[in-house]
Structure 1
Amino acid sequence: MPRTFLVTGATGFVGSHVAEALVARGDLVRTLAREGSDTAILDRLGVTVVRGDLTDPDAVRRAAEGADVVIHCGAKVGDWGPVDDYRKVNVEGLRSLLDATLGRPLDRFVVVSSLGVYEARHHFGTDETEPLPDHHIDGYTQSKVEAERLALQYYRKQKLPVTVLRPGFIYGPRDRSVLPRIAGRLRERSVIYIARGRYALNTTYVGNLVDAILLAVDRPEAVGEVFNITDGEFVSKRTFFETIADGIGAKRPRGSIPVWLARFVANWRESVFRRKNKPHPPRATQAQLKFAGLNLDFSIAKARGRLGYAPRVSFQQGMKAALDWYREAQK
């Protein structure tokens, strides 16, 4: 029998792929979408759209009514701005969603978090036993740590069947945010390697993440657990940027600075922008340093063992799909 899924964030990058996969396997899908948001893809898929957002408890309750499974992809993302702005959506919005599912049967509540919840340092095979820091470098990752803790609290105290997934850098078709921004920086030749680009990036193809989400829904072993999710292969920052540069016909980056200098510049620029109360981030931030300059290698052994997760799409295959979509979208 088909089940009813509530997928938050389905008008976005990850959520639209999740909704598509669920419809393809015969499930019923609904989502919560802000007034005026583009639902063209969802309309074609036959997804039921409830208008509202995560900050509106009444809309959240309407969207959750009768759902057998919740897949929570919706979030406020970014690396700049007051932490309370992120908490309003990522923590309190999640609380409203959790509360809306209490007191009735629910098969699973999957929370899509981020590998960004770990400390902003080099990682070499870090697994889920690593404790999370109480204080983070930006509002987004701070709120994601708090959101994870809240969801797991509902598992322990309210017996909600919660599973938390921590993907790394997500890429693939329909990315209208990060890939276009990186492509623009490459075209203007403003990308500079940190530590010669030799460190690992925690790449996660969107299709591999969707596979992990469906496994988390279907596997009883997933309840109450946290899983790191990546492509499971080493991809250096240099390989990442060169692959995109080659795919869009831009010149490959050449310059490089050491990590210590990148950290100094990021701290300095952030302090200046905060002092001037700038509404947008500088080009060098601690979050960008983490993305471009730190070794981000995380173990997915737990997901392989307990979920049966086996990444189907390699980085080269996934980036080809992402770049093919990007070039078509530019026409």
Structure 2
Amino acid sequence: MPHTILLTGATGFVGSHVAEVLVRRGDTVRTLARAGSDTAFLESLGATVVRGDLTDADALARAIEGCDVVVNCAAKVGDWGHVDGYRAVNVEGLRHLLDATLGRSLHRVVHVSSLGVYAARHHYGTDETEPLPNDHIDGYTQSKVEAERLALQYHRKQKVPVVILRPGFVYGPRDRTVLPRLADRLKERSVMYIARGRFALNTTFVGNIADAVMLAIDAPAEGTVGEVFNITDGEFVSKRRFFETVADGLGLKRPRGFPPVPVWLARIGANWREGVFRRKNKPHPPRITQAQLKFAGLNLDFSIAKARTKLGYTPRVLFDEGMKQALDWYKGHVAK
């Protein structure tokens, strides 16, 4: 049956795709959007826009009234800045949202988290039984771990029907942040391989995570509610393949292959540069951060067996097709 859904973060990259799929399948979509944010795309879909943010109790009450499903895609993302800035949105904003659900009869609350919550080390088929560390290398991942724990606490203590999805590196059409930044780095010839680019990247096409959200809404509560699911494209994509696919698709030179930088040396460099930038209170990150090192230099392979088994998740779009869609959109909308 169609649902009436409150979708947060709908003006963002992932949220816009979730909104599109929800409308296409016949659900009624209500979104919470900050004053001044561009909601033209959402309005073109027929979504109802309530102006406000997660700190506005009145706006939240108006937005959630009559909804039986909540999907939280709202997040402050990045790899630089004090953790409190990330907590304000990713943890306290979520707390406000979960408080607004209390006393309501809800079918499902889907919280979109991140595979970044796992420890910053090599991963080879890591699944959801892996304990999460208490301390993380950057404010974003620290806040995402705390947000997950908060959501599960509301499930245990308040019976909120929470499901948590952990996508990896999300790419696809409408990405106005990561792909444009990477294109600039490729043009500057400043991308170099760490460990020859042989390690895995946890790619997740944006349409695949949208599909996973639908499954999290529709799956039976038993085995789904109160659970966490890794979501990726389910195929091995090396860092080298990723960077070279982007470079080739944009007609740019491929990153230099030599000299290959070992992970241990890159980690020393990242630690040193981060320390310098923090002491100088720089508002922007150095060229290499611990978060960027994780992206570029660690093996990030995570099992999606649980999502396949319990949600019925099967990645619909694999890397080559997904990246083609991402690059085509970028060339048509950003690189004009």
Counting only pairs closer than 5 Å after superposition, residues 127-142 of structure 1 correspond to structure 2 as: 127-142=127-142
> Matches of 1:55 and 1:271 in 2, distance apart?
33
- Partner of 2:164, secondary structure, is strand
Conservation of the 8 A alpha-carbon contact between 1:55 and 1:88: no
Q: Deviations over 1:154-178 (max 9, x none)?
A: 1111111100000000000000000
> Matches of 1:215 and 1:124 in 2, distance apart?
25
What is the number of equivalent residue pairs in this alignment? 331
Counterpart residue number, 1:23: 23
Counterpart residue number, 1:252: 254
Answering whether residue 233 of structure 2 is matched by residue 223 of structure 1, we say no
Conservation of the 8 A alpha-carbon contact between 1:61 and 1:97: no
Counterpart residue number, 2:330: 326
> Matches of 1:265 and 1:205 in 2, distance apart?
31
**Offset of residue 2 of structure 1:** 2.6
**Offset of residue 55 of structure 1:** 2.5
Q: Deviations over 1:176-234 (max 9, x none)?
A: 00010001100111001100000000000011111111000000231110000000000
> Matches of 2:65 and 2:77 in 1, distance apart?
26
**Offset of residue 57 of structure 1:** 2.6
Aligned partner letter, 1:271: G
Counterpart residue number, 2:93: 93
> Matches of 2:55 and 2:79 in 1, distance apart?
20
Answering whether residue 265 of structure 2 is matched by residue 261 of structure 1, we say yes
**Offset of residue 59 of structure 1:** 2.0
> Matches of 1:60 and 1:149 in 2, distance apart?
22
Q: Deviations over 1:67-122 (max 9, x none)?
A: 11001000001111111111111001000000101101000000000000000000
**Offset of residue 263 of structure 1:** 0.3
> Matches of 2:270 and 2:64 in 1, distance apart?
41
Counterpart residue number, 1:158: 158
Counterpart residue number, 2:317: 313
**Offset of residue 63 of structure 1:** 1.5
> Matches of 2:241 and 2:106 in 1, distance apart?
42
Counterpart residue number, 2:121: 121
Counterpart residue number, 1:282: 286
Counterpart residue number, 2:38: 38
- Partner of 2:87, secondary structure, is helix
> Matches of 1:159 and 1:166 in 2, distance apart?
21
Aligned partner letter, 1:293: G
- Partner of 1:135, secondary structure, is coil
Choose 55-64 or 116-125, whichever is displaced more. 55-64
Q: Deviations over 1:19-67 (max 9, x none)?
A: 0001001110011111111111101001111111123233222212221
User: Where in structure 2 are there 5+ consecutive unaligned residues?
Assistant: none
Q: Deviations over 1:100-146 (max 9, x none)?
A: 01101000000000000000000000000000000000110000000
Counterpart residue number, 2:69: 69
Aligned partner letter, 1:292: A
Choose 248-257 or 89-98, whichever is displaced more. 248-257
Conservation of the 8 A alpha-carbon contact between 1:64 and 1:97: no
Counterpart residue number, 2:169: 169
- Partner of 1:222, secondary structure, is coil
RMSD, aligned CA: 0.8
Choose 301-310 or 255-264, whichever is displaced more. 255-264
**Offset of residue 316 of structure 1:** 0.2
> Matches of 2:93 and 2:57 in 1, distance apart?
8
User: Where in structure 1 are there 5+ consecutive unaligned residues?
Assistant: none
TM-score, structure 2 length as denominator? 0.97
- Partner of 1:281, secondary structure, is coil
- List structure 1 runs of 4+ shifted beyond 3 angstroms: none
Q: Deviations over 1:247-301 (max 9, x none)?
A: 1010000132110111011000000000001111111100000000000000000
> Matches of 2:2 and 2:305 in 1, distance apart?
31
> Matches of 1:282 and 1:258 in 2, distance apart?
19
Counterpart residue number, 1:197: 197
> Matches of 2:37 and 2:208 in 1, distance apart?
26
Conservation of the 8 A alpha-carbon contact between 1:4 and 1:30: yes
Answering whether residue 323 of structure 2 is matched by residue 294 of structure 1, we say no
> Matches of 2:323 and 2:39 in 1, distance apart?
25
